[in-house]
DNA sequence: TAGATATTTAGACAACTTTCTAAATATCGC
DNA sequence: GCGATATTTAGAAAGTTGTCTAAATATCTA
């Protein structure tokens, strides 16, 4: 798990917005881009960063390339973040 | 809560290492810096970024300036991150 | 196969970051 | 108050990032 790639990917607001946009399900690059005032080329760059961090997965579907969240990473990421802070209630439990 | 400041602060490996170093308790700027091959001036810059994100607090103690984690932010940050991904098991439960 | 649509790659540029050295500020002990 | 120690501020250099335009690649439809 490339911690640095993940933190770096999350540092940009456009990329976080892309992730949010994908919460509803997979979308084509174009459909994602429709929400942003940015060129397709710039979008593509952000996708590359997200992909390198393995935060999104791609699948070509005919003419389109469809992006989806890699939500299996979620717990890892949460752990990564929590790991930066001292334990609250050391074992068993959240809450 | 300045989401952007927080994500930006976490994006740098030196700053994450500083946070880890503070897990054991408050330390002076110099004590923190002892672990890094970096000038005091550069360290100070990183402290400023962490402070701006409110991830650390400072207190002058005589000659020293003592840094400590603002761990009350921890849950907010975890939520911020998890918020980027779709809910796993919607209500009640973790695990 | 040709033209249209969707996306990425290449290359350039401005803005921001990380780092440095040098100088400024604050506090301590004498 | 002076000199020493601790930290920050200022200003500059090198590297990285986010954006753009132009061109390349892939797929669809006719």
- Encode pLDDT of A8-28 as tens digits: 999 999 999 999 999 999 999
User: pLDDT tens for residues B6-27?
Assistant: 999 999 999 999 999 999 999 9
In a domain, A87, yes or no: no
> CA nearest B21: which of B11, B8, B35, B10?
B35
At B41, which CATH number? 1.10.10.10
- pLDDT score, position A93: 39
Residues in B touching A74 (Cβ below 8 Å): 82, 85, 88
In a domain, A88, yes or no: no
User: For A36-63, what is the mean pLDDT?
Assistant: 96
User: For A47-66, what is the mean pLDDT?
Assistant: 96
In a domain, A59, yes or no: yes
In a domain, B89, yes or no: no
- pLDDT score, position A81: 81
* pLDDT above 70: residue B93: no
Expressed as residue numbers, the domain containing A44 is: 3-82
**How long is the CA A11 to C1' D16 vector, in angstroms?**
14
Instruction: For residue B49, give both structure tokens.
Output: 């970024």
Question: Any idea what the Cα angle at residue A80 is, between residues B37 and B57, rounded to 5°?
Answer: 60
């Amino acid at each position: 798990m490339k911690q640095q790639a993940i933190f770096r990917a999350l540092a940009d607001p456009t990329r976080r917005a892309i992730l949010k946009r994908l919460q509803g399900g997979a979308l084509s690059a174009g459909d994602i881009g429709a929400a942003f005032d940015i060129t397709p080329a710039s979008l593509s760059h952000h996708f590359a960063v997200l992909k390198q961090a393995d935060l999104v997965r791609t699948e070509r579907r005919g003419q389109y390339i469809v992006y989806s969240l890699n939500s299996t990473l979620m717990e890892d990421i949460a752990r990564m973040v929590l790991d930066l802070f001292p334990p609250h209630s050391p074992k068993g439990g959240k809450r």
